[in-house]
């Protein structure tokens, strides 16, 4: 067998070198700091742009904002009157049904 035609089996794990982590975190710390600063600035700009777009829609500033509201005030006397009428009609139906038998 020629060595140039051999390749590792993808199903079998290959042991890592002792200094494998140096490739991952390696490099100059200044470059990492610059990329972190850039990412932070981009995040801040994105957040400020999103806030600028969301703010007008989050606050209802239109003039007709009170147009389609349901009235929360009610007439207590009218409510009591309607309930008494409903109960009276139920009583009359029950009495009429009992008298028919």
Eight-state DSSP code of residue 27: S
Inter-residue contact 8 to 14 (CB < 8 Å)? yes
Residue 48 or 50, more confident: 48
Distance (Å, rounded) from C-alpha 53 to C-alpha 26? Answer: 40
Q: Given this model, what pLDDT does residue 11 score? A: 81
Tens digits of residue pLDDT in 60-96: 555 555 666 666 777 888 989 999 999 999 999 999 9
d(CA 37, CA 45): 12
pLDDT digits (tens, 9 = 90+) for 6-49: 777 778 877 888 887 777 776 656 656 677 788 888 888 877 77
């Amino acid at each position: 067998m020629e060595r140039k035609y051999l390749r590792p089996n993808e199903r079998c794990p290959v042991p890592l070198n002792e200094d494998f982590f140096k490739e991952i975190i390696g490099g100059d710390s200044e470059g990492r700091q610059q990329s972190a600063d850039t990412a932070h600035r981009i995040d801040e700009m994105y957040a400020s742009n999103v806030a600028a777009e969301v703010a007008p829609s989050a606050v209802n500033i239109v003039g007709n904002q009170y147009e389609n509201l349901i009235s929360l005030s009610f007439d207590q006397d009218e409510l009591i009157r309607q309930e008494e009428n409903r109960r009276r009609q139920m009583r009359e139906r029950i009495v009429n049904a009992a008298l028919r038998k």
